A and B are shown apart, each in its own frame.
Chain A
Amino acid sequence: MNKNCPTEYNPWLHYFAIATAITTFLLLGLGGLVTSHEAGMSVPDWPNTYGYNMFLFPIGKWVGGVFYEHTHRLLASAVGLLTVILAVWLWRGDARRWMGRLGLVAVLLVIAQGVLGGLRVRWHMDNLGVFHGTVAQVFFILVCALALLTSRWWLQLSAERNWVSVPAGLRSLFVVTTFLIFLQLMLGATMRHQHAGLAIRDFPLAYGQWWPDTSPEAMARYNSQRVEVVTETPVTAFQIILQMFHRLGALAIFLAVTLCAWQARRQLGRRDGLARMAAAWHGLLILQIGLGIETLHSNKAADIATLHVMIGALSLVTGALWCVIAFRRSDATPKLAGNRANSGELNCPAVLALGGK
């Protein structure tokens, strides 16, 4: 194929990438449920399940926490399989070499993810759950990006190049904000993998103060009063401070995303796709903060806490994809009419297909 040709749109590849992304999102949710139900260690062995080959584990034994952990492992295997197929397809069927490489990275990530999850169980290291949760988010970004990059919309955008370019300042603002969200997710994952129940219950105050007392006497007092049904573990000062940072992080992110939405609208115009996306992002973050507060009020009801994880992942992905699109649109010189002939794209069949819009 002529390497100057724009990539041909392959609808099935694109749908397949979307299916992989959606399955990954469901897997994230199921993984969130495992942690919400404190079921991460309910299947003591790996890769076997209670001594059975995991695919032959009898359904009658999928009880209590085992149900979440086991279905998580099964769905994870499905995502692994989808990822491998997607990678092979990209490698062989996408003219962009780097797409094949991205597919390979996805495969490596999904393998790392499986091994991390397995070692967490085998080594009894709850802390690995934090990395497992973080890598999951990165992997999710990657498959969503693959779905975006294989879309007709993206290929058309790249071929036609008739965009309003996104100023560097605006791009940096979004990159920094997305990174803040990433840090917030890591903080959140660290909190969840303390397996200690909520370190602070009240909001916006914390133990009745703007900044809670974490002296040893205060900690002893909090713990002597604490009665938990699940995760009955003493709370530590570290955990309280972790949640305080998560709260401050939420405030910082909220302000940053508000600024992003406002600036995108101001600099790109209200009708620009990226401005709209930024507005939706803003809405997503308001929802996310509401869910965070509700997580506290519901004393960490498993469904609410899990939704908080899932919307958190969507917030991150929205920011990341915004940045990907913005960098695509960073070119300061929009394509002039007639360029196409000059760049040797004349004989490209895909252009004709795309141009037929």
Chain B
Amino acid sequence: MPITEFRQALNQALEEEMIRDEKVYIMGEEVAEYNGAYKVTKGLLDKFGEKRVRDTPITEAGFTGLGIGSAMMGLRPVVEYMSWNFSLVAIDQIISNAAKMYYMTGGQFSVPIVMRGASGAAAQVSCQHSHNLESFYAHIPGLIVMAPSTPYDAKGLLKAAIRNDNPVIFLENEMLYGDMGEVPEEEYLIEIGKGDIKREGTDVTICAHLRQVGFALEAAEILAKEGISAEVVDPRTIKPLDIDLIADSVRKTKRLVVAEEGHKFCGFGSEVSALIHEMCFDDLDHPVIRVSQGENPLPYAKNIEAASLPDVQDIVAAAKKSLYK
């Protein structure tokens, strides 16, 4: 299998879907001539022309709404936010319009739009540029939320997202764009709502998504050296959530650590924790432990930024704690 860069896997997904379906078009700031702020859309303008790969002004509410309206008329827009931080300017369009439309119209107008871009912390960009919005968007019925951690998952999920008839929030992470991974040459899709076991183990389950998956795998290596066998579960889509996969793993290991980059309060980990306590109360040998960012805006200075973000050591410590070690 060819080894492919994360951003290239996304680029392949976009290109393949644009070839397959004329109704797919891309729109966002710097996506065309500049080839994308993170080069995810590189070369697509040359291949598909400016009708289908469109540079927008800096006007997130405007172009998100435009995308939604065009999706109601049957097009399949892929909107790029330079980063998800700027989606907050368009959040009314996303929540009040995209998410509610199909229901509010009694099933008449679906909104097949994909909104994608970098989310979460990058490297020292301070608090306005480091939002983790999983739990914001996953809270809303009508939205699908995806958060892939590998090039393989990113490509398969993005293709599935574009073909899906619902609005999809597609979260990427700047720190992952350069990651390399196996991506097959033949076409494949990933079923929405299907998680993946990234490493099998028997003593403790670590649930992680996006960048935390890499951290969890590193933590599992460290734990293995200490004789602890950790299983790493990546839900891949936040909503719908493959809670059964997580629960099955927990029934085996009796312990769960949920690692996420966002804040703890009302975060994704809180939801997984609640569900697992509901589903696996009698199986648990330790309460679920949440590993997350501190309850503060993410600061700039390297030392306190690092202290705020969850990392490999935090996951290792949590896993051991769950084993009373």
Are A and B a genuine interacting pair, yes or no?
Answer: no
